[in-house]
Amino acid sequence: MERSSGLVEVKEPVVPIQGGTGSTFDMARMRRYRNDRLKVELRKRDYAAGLFCDAINVRYATGSRNMQVWTLRNPARYVFVAADGPTVMFEFGGCDHLLRGLETIQEIRPATSWFFFTSGPRVPERAVRWAAEIAALMAAHGGGNRRLAVDRVNPEGSAALQSLGISLHDGQEVVERARAIKSPDEIAAMRHAIDVCEGGLMRVREALQPGVTENQLLAVLNEANIAEGGEYIETRLLTAGPRTNPWFQESSERPVQTGELLALDTDMIGPNGFFADMSRTFLCGDRCASGVQRDIYGLAHEQVETNTALLRQGVGFREFMEKSWAMPQRFVKHRYMSLVHGAGLCGEYPYIPYPQDFAAKGYDGLIEENMTLCVESFIGDEAGGEGVKLEQLVLVTKGGPEPLTTFPFEDKLLG
């Protein structure tokens, strides 16, 4: 596809891609589904268009990827999606070839960068130029509607758009609501990403020997992901022994010792950008698990199983919270950040916190069919000792919850 200032038609053959689980998914159909869902959500809120700069939102809107990690923090490319009109992609210079075959994009334009790294003291000037182009698109495709949904915009850009009569609204809500309900193609592609992730977990478990470091084990997981077409891992949550409790300690050069627990959260962006998010805890070496290790592992397993069974369409977030597994008091201080959260291209809507946090962070909503949700558990005594992290990725179906993650729990820790 060549750069153009006019509309272009792009067609791609429909070639289903075979997933590692044996399922197939059609990338072109998936892209059309996502772009359509965005437009539906824009129209629901009477927005003329959405302007998306976040790299994951751009990918959802178009199916395109370019320097994904770098563009997560540098808004070097962005997309304009008209609610009743074209999708216009503003691409990083010299990268138009990356958009070939994407039927979701009707026009390609060069991006006008105005973040400080590329613009320095010329940020205000370039922001004005950027805003004028967006305002012109609003005038051409908004039918007089000046309401624009944006996900990320710095003060200079916000002021420049508003000075041109553009009314700004929350674009992240639009995308999160769209992303929450998965198509059959997305579910099949997610299964493939999970398959790759579970292969990596198996390799970590095989490499877990006394003396191996946490960082070396994290490298095993990373290599398995990249080798199979995956992309990156969002966190470094892989720790052993006393570093498993409290949670959210990052992997280090500390060697794992015989008889210690190793806990990890994959947080893996796998093939096709799908978030393969699951947690497991292993025991290092041939030593039998201690009574304490079995107790805390059993509690974490019970929490995941109990809360998974509650994931049925039509259940409210508050109702789920109220019926969720009751955590023994000595573990409450070190509880995880949520009971459940969505997953798709990253951690997504919805987010259901613990009863202790619901008044401050919770909100209303319904669990819906074809949501893909992560059921979380961390069990770590506030008095110290090791902790256990477990997590299942679950599909909500008409018949009830279906775990997408099939990697087995540890028999020698379950007792």
The residues spanned by each domain of the chain are 17-179, 184-414
- C-alpha span between 217 and 221 (Å, rounded): 7
- C-alpha span between 175 and 38 (Å, rounded): 6
The per-residue pLDDT for 118 is 82
- C-alpha span between 105 and 262 (Å, rounded): 45
CATH of 184-414, one of 3.30.1330.60, 3.30.70.3270, 3.40.50.2300, 3.90.230.10: 3.90.230.10
Q: Tell me: the pLDDT tens digits for 336-378?
A: 999 999 999 999 999 999 999 999 999 999 999 999 999 999 9
Question: Which residues have CB under 8 Å from 394's CB, separation 6+?
Answer: 308, 311, 372, 373, 374, 375, 401, 402, 403, 404, 405
> Is the link from the previous residue into 328 a cis peptide, with omega within 30 of 0?
no
225 burial type by CB count under 10 A (0-12 exposed, 13-18 middle, 19+ buried): buried
Cβ(135)–Cβ(150) below 8 Å: no
The alpha helices in 45-183, defined as continuous H runs, are 55-62, 68-73, 116-119, 123-141, 155-163, 171-179
Pair of tokens at residue 331: 């573990």
Q: Residue 347: helix, strand or coil by DSSP?
A: strand
Q: Which amino acid is at 125?
A: E
Q: Which residues of the chain have pLDDT under 50?
A: 1-19
Cβ(348)–Cβ(357) below 8 Å: no
Which fold would CATH assign to domain 17-179? Creatine Amidinohydrolase; Chain A, domain 1 (3.40.350)
Question: Which residues have CB under 8 Å from 378's CB, separation 6+?
Answer: 247, 300, 334, 335, 336, 387, 388, 389
The per-residue pLDDT for 15 is 41
The per-residue pLDDT for 21 is 55
